[in-house]
Amino acid sequence: MLISVITADITTLAVDAIVNAANETLLGGGGVDGAIHRAAGPALLAACRRLPEVSPGVRCPTGEARITPGFALPAARVIHTVGPVWRGGGHGEPALLGNCHRNVLLLAREHGLRRIAFPAISCGVYGYPAPLAAEVALRTLHESLASDPALELTLCCYSEPMRAVFQDALTSL
């Protein structure tokens, strides 16, 4: 199975890259962003600060992705992406969430990375309904696998209920 769905703390995964559900400043936060920065150590924040701002206070616009080393993490790299804040579904949220997953894999390909683990992007603070997010995430990743079968993708959920939602979306592909 080239896409697996697990329940784990993403900061423990020894993969080529873990994906961070960040905000546009890339200067850390709570949730998985906070966990990744805590586990990676202060060097990660320093590396993020060195990434250029594309507009005042914005290093990574929503839907885009940026890559840094993983530092103290078991993962070699962190690919930071910024998911959409859920505002009811009529503000381009599905397209933006799809862009997150596509742009993460574009960066992974550019860097020759194969084993990538994603959290449930936007499903926490950003309020994206998990079943809707899971459908977008799995469909997008499945499409990318078609053109790059060497990828080994993991959806790393932080709870059993969330894993069940993403497993259902995978089974329904």
Q: Which residues are catalytic?
A: 33
Quick check: 61 binds ligand APR (CB under 6 A)? Answer: no
Report the largest interatomic distance among the alpha carbons of the chain, rounded to a whole angstrom: 42
Query: 131: number of CA atoms within 13 Å, CB side?
Result: 2
* Of the candidates 38, 5, 32, 8, the residue with the CA atom closest to the CA atom of residue 20: 32
Distance CA(52)–CA(63), nearest Å, equals 17
Name the pairing type of β-strands 152-157 and 65-69: unpaired
The stretch near ligand APR (CB under 6 A) out of 29-37, 57-65, 100-108, 137-145 is: 29-37
Part in contact with ligand APR (CB under 6 A); list of ranges 15-23, 42-50, 107-115, 139-147: 15-23
x/- mask, ligand APR, residues 104-133, rule CB under 6 A, reads ---------------xxxxxxxx-------
Among 156, 163, 165, 166, binds ligand APR (CB under 6 A): 156
CA dihedral 68, 73, 74, 80 (to 10 degrees): -40
Residues that bind ligand APR (CB under 6 A): 9-11, 21-23, 29-35, 83, 119-126, 156, 158, 162
